[in-house]
Structure 1
Amino acid sequence: MGKMEALSVQDLSFSGGLKLVVYLFALRCALVYTYRWFFSPLSRFSGPFLAKFSDWPLAYHSVRGNLHLRALETHERYGPVVRVGPNKVSFSTETALHTIFTSKSVQKHKGYQAFVTIPGVYSSFTVIDKDVHRFKRKIINQGLSEQRMRDAEPAMNKLINRFINIIAKACKTDQWSPNFNMTDSCKYLGVDVMAQFGFGQSFNLQESEENRFFPEAAKLMNLIVGVYYNFTDLAKAKLHVIFAKRALALRDKIRPLMQKIVSERIAVGKNAYQDLFNFVLEAKDPETGKGFALPELWMEAQLLLIAGSDTSATTMAALLFYLSRYPDCHRKLADEIRGAFEDVDDIHSGKAMSECIYLRACIDEALRMSGPAAGIGWREVSPGTGGIIIDGHHIPEGFEVGLSSYVIHHNESFFPEPFTFKPERWIVSPENPKEQVERSRRAFAPFSLGPRGCAGRAMAYMEISNVIAKTVWCFDFEPSKGEVGKIGEGKPNGERGRRRPKEFQTYEHLTSSHDGPYLRFRLRHGFSGNLST
């Protein structure tokens, strides 16, 4: 009986302790949620009910790739200022765009820590410290100068010619080619170009399957990071260890690949290639004398390949989708390109390319409609600033402010008929006065703005321009026949925000993932189908 009584006392003690823990946890939740609902400085802003209490809705929509769609939906319902998290406010105006991303009163928020795969090692994208970022970015900018772009273009065009030749090889005279998934084709090209530009060597994804795991690995890694970026505290639970084993396996293949290409690049010496790493390898901070440590080089390499290739690949796939759905735009662009360049080998940056204003308008319109980074870019109001004023609203320090490029790019105030592919909106004409074009330009930020804006913007435009111009010059193309030709479209019976057949469907995971369009090609009369590589 004595043992039974002792066990009973222990059970009661454990039960009582458990009840106390549950009670204290419930009390804490009640206090926290009451504060967030009624007393938080953000309680004055309207927004979805659950957003007052937790970032879980952001994480959920990020997993599904629909955060940009839900952001647009909430702004359409609640207006230009919306509370989308306990400590987060989203804006949708041109003035907010410029304030948030150019103000000295904000810094990158702690969600960027989710990108850090080696503790304490930061790339120019993930680093929060402004002084460290300034040094890293200065070096990267040297490697992306106008002169450097001109030096790199011949090697880039050889890879683009390979892209053209692969399609041409599948074409028979006066016949349509088999189907091409342009997401795959553009991603392989994008990675090859960035590897060549960054390290002086191509991965040869276009012709070899050896490293084709890379785009899928990047996609899955971005999915995980996107969730933690929007719900930072969730990263502590490390749920990806349980739910994303394939992503981790592919990540473990990327890391040695990054280490290998960086080590090989170091081994051949600084001046072996006029690539980006030529500027990075021996760069020193003038104040500290420190350069890039080896792990930092790995991180910069990973950033260059993933972010650089995704931006161009998404834009190229999107533009090919829209041209195949808007035949008048396709015809107008083909007339411009074929009239500007007598021979396909003449297509490169320069005076003739700069005069192709409809090409640039088409690229900008694809970036607007289906940009590569459609989600909400978050910034934290920096400590010691006393807060920031955005569109007349005071946001205290420590809270987060953001804006989705998809939301502002589909704001009818800046872009009439926002879901129509209309390159003419970027060109001044009697029907489209200069004031309207300038208004649209001020609200256009596919590469973000300010000191943290995309460093590779000029290179992306050069690559996309050359690829699209050569493709349009060499081929006629149209959607594939049958159901496969509809891949990439919205579905009339699809989920909210995905019901427009003429909108290229992207899934937002920091960068955009997508499938299609599936196209078939036919050689243009007079094109032999074999370019120099």
Structure 2
Amino acid sequence: MINDLTHSKSTRSRAAMDLSFSLVPAVIIGVGLGVAYCTLLVAYRLLFHPLRQYPGPLIAKISGFYGAFYAFRTTLHLRTWQDHVRYGPIVRQGPNKLVFNSVQALHDIYQNDRITKSRAYLISQRAPGVYGLFNAVDRFLHQKKRRLVGKPLSDRSMRAFEPTMIGQIDIFLQQLVACCQRKDCDAIPVNMTQLSKHLTMDIMGYLAFGYPLDLQTEATNRAVLQSKASFLFNIGMQLPFLGALRVHMLGSLRSLIRGKRYLRTLERVIIERLAEGQHVKHDLLFMSDQPRVSENDQVWLEDVRSEAIWFLIAGSDTTSATLSALFFYLAKNPHCYKRLAREIRSTFHNDGEIHSGPKLATCAYLRACIDETLRMSPALPGTLWREKAAGAGDEPLVIDGCVIPEGTQLGVNTYALLHSEEYFPEPFSFKPERWLEGSGMSKTSRDAFAPFSLGARSCLGKSMAYLEVSLVMAKTLLCLDFSEAVGIPCGHDTSLTERELGKDTERVNEFQIYDAFAAVHCGPFLNFRPAQADAE
């Protein structure tokens, strides 16, 4: 019996060896075919591709992983700017991608009915055939969703919502005043990124759901600030094939992108709101893919949650980035700070006067400071990718005088354009004066200013963002002074290079933002004190 077992094992061993040897040629052939395919693909993309004549990094011409790598490092906006400096106004940033850096291209791309959102946006699609405002590639579907989402952002709705917004800003101000009253106020500076994120998300909670998230005063719901959706989405955007493969069908990736704690918190908020009855469903219809109110709460939960993820990011992250950057630039530029404080304190005599209307509209320097902040540190610093729309006809697509081949992804990088010396001299200097009447800024330069994008897909919340930032800054400067805390780190990723962080370069005095589709940032850290007459 032992001999039989030994013989059996020997037979199996020989069979396994024979199988291994028989697989070797197949593996070699497979590897050879793979190498040959990759070699031919590289040769085609470098020598025969329709975009071969456009300059750009060698790796970018070969693979979309060039953009994905820098998106992972959250420095793609800086790399794009550097590529424009090196290669010129048109850069091939992927095998089928062209990024432009001119006013003409900006308007040719984003104000063109023949161009639509890139199919790469479909990576955020939650199910086949179900679209939100953010990933609606079809122009007519997008117009329909935009009309729905635009209702709570209309001028009429904003006038009704403004008292709620001011109430949340007053809580923000109370926290700053409380910091002034602490004995250790200079020892424990205020992180403006943290406070501004709490403020803007609280405001969006009321706008989207009529729900008190209370992030400024409680920690219960702060998981809504922890979504990684925009960061991972930005990486996926650099690899358009992911959208074509409908990666949304991979449930584990969806959970990773959105974050489980974030989803649970958002789900709880929506469920509590739906429990209030049918009138709430009608209020939330703008965030549903359904044309009418559904009796199925689970359908509503999924619809509203999916749209709310991007709605909250668009309204919160972008405004908090602008607020944080504006506080930074004012603290770094005392002459700008004093001029703005003088304007605010001579225009308003008490806090109750600060609201939308003629007085706030006369604060020209305040608007100039906001515009210069948006130019230097745009809340969406990357490239909003577009492509020729299906059914756009056979007529060649011409962008800035260039005939664009079919299947090409197009875009203008916001950060790079707003830091172009051609349109904005001394682009890394904070100069609000350039936006004032009589400054001599050319029409071309003003046309290059599009931090909220342009055309049919421009940001719906532009007016709300300007109002929110204006109210926060006016209310703060009326009663408080602030200064930069010395020696406080701003949470920079130490794995990034000195050049990427702006140290020892022209970017040293720029508020550092990181490109995760919506800008990621930290700080500034400021010390606050009651307003003094000498600040005027």
* TM-score of the superposed pair, with normalisation by structure 1: 0.89
Matched, 1:53 2:58: no
Secondary structure class of the residue paired with 1:170: helix
Specify whether residues 504 and 280 from structure 1 end up closer, same or farther in structure 2 by C-alpha distance, changes over 3 A only: closer
In structure 2, the partner of 1:94 is: 103
Decide whether the 8 Å contact of 1:55 with 1:86 is kept in 2. Answer: yes
Specify whether residues 17 and 408 from structure 1 end up closer, same or farther in structure 2 by C-alpha distance, changes over 3 A only: same
Decide whether the 8 Å contact of 1:488 with 1:516 is kept in 2. Answer: no
Secondary structure class of the residue paired with 2:502: coil
In structure 1, the partner of 2:477 is: 472
Decide whether the 8 Å contact of 1:476 with 1:522 is kept in 2. Answer: yes
In structure 2, the partner of 1:108 is: 117
1:394-420 CA distance string (max 9 Å, x none): 112221011111010000111111000
Decide whether the 8 Å contact of 1:374 with 1:510 is kept in 2. Answer: yes
Counterparts of 1:511-530 in structure 2 under 5 Å?
511-524=518-531
Secondary structure class of the residue paired with 2:416: helix
Specify whether residues 191 and 173 from structure 1 end up closer, same or farther in structure 2 by C-alpha distance, changes over 3 A only: closer
Secondary structure class of the residue paired with 1:189: helix
Separation in structure 2 between the aligned mates of residue 276 and residue 302 of structure 1, nearest angstrom: 17
In structure 2, the partner of 1:211 is: 221
1:491-522 CA distance string (max 9 Å, x none): 99823462233100011010011110000100
Which of 344, 366, 387 is the matching residue for 1:337? 344
Letter in 2 for 1:413: E
Separation in structure 2 between the aligned mates of residue 375 and residue 185 of structure 1, nearest angstrom: 25
Which of 199, 203, 227 is the matching residue for 2:209? 199
Separation in structure 1 between the aligned mates of residue 14 and residue 53 of structure 2, nearest angstrom: 56
Matched, 1:484 2:511: no
In structure 1, the partner of 2:28 is: 19
Specify whether residues 490 and 392 from structure 1 end up closer, same or farther in structure 2 by C-alpha distance, changes over 3 A only: farther
RMSD of aligned residue pairs (Cα, Å): 3.0
Separation in structure 1 between the aligned mates of residue 437 and residue 414 of structure 2, nearest angstrom: 23
User: Shift in Å at residue 158 of structure 1?
Assistant: 0.5
Letter in 2 for 1:469: A
1:413-470 CA distance string (max 9 Å, x none): 11111000011111122xx22xx24222200111111111111111111111111111
In structure 2, the partner of 1:501 is: 508
Specify whether residues 13 and 333 from structure 1 end up closer, same or farther in structure 2 by C-alpha distance, changes over 3 A only: same
1:74-115 CA distance string (max 9 Å, x none): 001111111010000000000101111111222211221222
Which of 132, 137, 154 is the matching residue for 1:145? 154
Deviates more, 1:136-145 or 1:483-492: 483-492
Give the total of aligned pairs: 510
Deviates more, 1:254-263 or 1:363-372: 254-263
Separation in structure 1 between the aligned mates of residue 18 and residue 491 of structure 2, nearest angstrom: 66
In structure 2, the partner of 1:256 is: 264
In structure 2, the partner of 1:182 is: 192
Specify whether residues 441 and 283 from structure 1 end up closer, same or farther in structure 2 by C-alpha distance, changes over 3 A only: farther
Separation in structure 2 between the aligned mates of residue 492 and residue 341 of structure 1, nearest angstrom: 44
Deviates more, 1:106-115 or 1:327-336: 106-115
Decide whether the 8 Å contact of 1:310 with 1:511 is kept in 2. Answer: yes
Letter in 2 for 1:63: F
Separation in structure 1 between the aligned mates of residue 290 and residue 27 of structure 2, nearest angstrom: 57
Letter in 2 for 1:15: V
Matched, 1:451 2:456: yes
Separation in structure 2 between the aligned mates of residue 513 and residue 107 of structure 1, nearest angstrom: 27
User: Shift in Å at residue 382 of structure 1?
Assistant: 2.4
Q: Which runs of 5+ in 2 are unaligned?
A: 1-9, 293-298
Secondary structure class of the residue paired with 2:384: strand
User: Shift in Å at residue 276 of structure 1?
Assistant: 6.4
In structure 2, the partner of 1:529 is: none
1:113-166 CA distance string (max 9 Å, x none): 222345543211112122221111011112211011010000110000000001
In structure 1, the partner of 2:4 is: none
In structure 1, the partner of 2:356 is: 349
Decide whether the 8 Å contact of 2:110 with 2:454 is kept in 1. Answer: yes
Matched, 1:233 2:246: no
Separation in structure 2 between the aligned mates of residue 99 and residue 190 of structure 1, nearest angstrom: 33
Counterparts of 1:7-406 in structure 2 under 5 Å?
7-118=16-127, 120-172=129-181, 177=186, 178-215=188-225, 217-218=226-227, 220-233=228-241, 248=256, 251-269=259-277, 277=284, 284=291, 294-384=301-391, 385-386=393-394, 387-406=396-415
Separation in structure 2 between the aligned mates of residue 244 and residue 147 of structure 1, nearest angstrom: 40
Decide whether the 8 Å contact of 1:156 with 1:463 is kept in 2. Answer: yes
- Percent of aligned positions with the same letter in both sequences? 36
Decide whether the 8 Å contact of 1:205 with 1:212 is kept in 2. Answer: yes
1:225-252 CA distance string (max 9 Å, x none): 11101123367698xx9x999x839711
Specify whether residues 136 and 345 from structure 1 end up closer, same or farther in structure 2 by C-alpha distance, changes over 3 A only: same
1:4-59 CA distance string (max 9 Å, x none): 66444422221111111111111211221111111111001011111111011101
* TM-score of the superposed pair, with normalisation by structure 2: 0.88
Specify whether residues 523 and 119 from structure 1 end up closer, same or farther in structure 2 by C-alpha distance, changes over 3 A only: farther
Specify whether residues 2 and 520 from structure 1 end up closer, same or farther in structure 2 by C-alpha distance, changes over 3 A only: closer
Separation in structure 1 between the aligned mates of residue 262 and residue 490 of structure 2, nearest angstrom: 32
Specify whether residues 237 and 155 from structure 1 end up closer, same or farther in structure 2 by C-alpha distance, changes over 3 A only: closer
Which of 438, 442, 464 is the matching residue for 2:443? 438
Letter in 2 for 1:464: V
Letter in 2 for 1:204: D
Separation in structure 1 between the aligned mates of residue 493 and residue 473 of structure 2, nearest angstrom: 20
Decide whether the 8 Å contact of 1:479 with 1:517 is kept in 2. Answer: yes
Secondary structure class of the residue paired with 1:520: strand
Separation in structure 2 between the aligned mates of residue 30 and residue 421 of structure 1, nearest angstrom: 48
Letter in 2 for 1:446: P
Specify whether residues 267 and 503 from structure 1 end up closer, same or farther in structure 2 by C-alpha distance, changes over 3 A only: same
Specify whether residues 38 and 383 from structure 1 end up closer, same or farther in structure 2 by C-alpha distance, changes over 3 A only: farther
Deviates more, 1:53-62 or 1:483-492: 483-492
Specify whether residues 118 and 260 from structure 1 end up closer, same or farther in structure 2 by C-alpha distance, changes over 3 A only: farther
Secondary structure class of the residue paired with 1:206: coil
Separation in structure 1 between the aligned mates of residue 494 and residue 257 of structure 2, nearest angstrom: 32
Letter in 1 for 2:203: V
Specify whether residues 5 and 277 from structure 1 end up closer, same or farther in structure 2 by C-alpha distance, changes over 3 A only: closer
Specify whether residues 22 and 321 from structure 1 end up closer, same or farther in structure 2 by C-alpha distance, changes over 3 A only: same
Please tell me whether Structure 1 or Structure 2 has the larger radius of gyration of its CA atoms: 2
